[in-house]
Each structure stands twice: as C-alpha cells, then as structure tokens.
Amino acid sequence: MIEVNGAAHIILTVSQWEKARAFYGELLPFMGMTKIIDREDFLYHVGGRTAVGIERCAEKYENERFVQSRVGLHHLCLRARSRDDVDAAAAKLRDMGAVIDRGPLEGAWLEGYYYVVFEDPDGIRLEINHIPGKGVLAADGSNPLEPTKF
C-alpha cells in the first residue's frame, strides 16, 4: 500500500481557448498559484501542492462544450483554507462575471462543509470548498460520507 500526497496536476482541455486563458490567468493567481507556463496552447499554474493546466483542444472540437453528465470529469474541487477564502473566491468570480451555479453556502455532505460551484467559459464545473478540522478524516474514525448522510 502507498499513501498519495495530493494531486500533482490537473489538466483541463478547453474549446474557448482565449476566454479560458483569460479566466484561469486571472483566477489561479488570485488563488495563490504561480504561472509556470504560458504558451499559445497551454497555461500552467502551480500552488497549494497541486497544479492546474489549461490546454487548447484539437481544432475539430472547438465547437464543443463541457457536459457534466458525460463520461469523464464531473467537476473539479479545490480546497480552501477557510470559509473566508471561499467567500473571497466567490466575490472574485462575481467580479470576473463568472457563472456561479450555487453558493457560497453550507452543504449537507459534512458538518461545516462550505462551498461555491461555478463554471469556466466552456461550462466546466469547478468548486472551491472548505471543511473545518480533518473533514472526512475525523479523528473518531466515523465515516461522515455514509450513503445515508446524502
């Protein structure tokens, strides 16, 4: 057995390249991530023990948009250090004119689960959340994500 050490990187392929490049180019530095690569087809930021890359799609897919219920990515969730950070991210997203699907608000998944869900220019769903304490790894050994909790 091994124990993973976080997510090394997540690469999102986008069809609205220029819009996505501007969107992530503003949002990711706001979230404390440092731009490492900025090319005509790829943008890459690193911070918070992970990296997020944005890649231009193949030309034949330029008219497609993200569909959350298709096979593949459902949504990407980045963890914030506090509820205030979730609120600050939501305010930034509003200032950027982003589509906010819901939040910031408390969810029923775990006690104190606080989040905002939004979309990038391709409609890719993202979430920023905060869970106080150890979250799903509570010291009491309980599993707060039992199916009955949903």
Map out the domains of the chain with their CATH numbers: 1-59 (3.10.180.10), 74-150 (3.10.180.10)
In the β-sheet with 50-56, what is the strand arrangement from edge to edge?
A: 10-14, 50-56, 42-47, 34-38
Give me the pLDDT at residue 150, please. Answer: 33
- pTM given for the model: 0.86
Q: What is the DSSP letter of 74?
A: -
pLDDT per residue as tens digits for the range 33-72: 999 999 999 999 999 889 999 999 999 999 999 988 888 8
Residue with tokens 């298709």: 70
H helix intervals, the chain: 17-30, 83-96
At 60, give phi and psi (nearest 5°): -70, -15
Parallel/antiparallel/unpaired status of strands 50-56 and 42-47: antiparallel
Give me the pLDDT at residue 46, please. Answer: 96
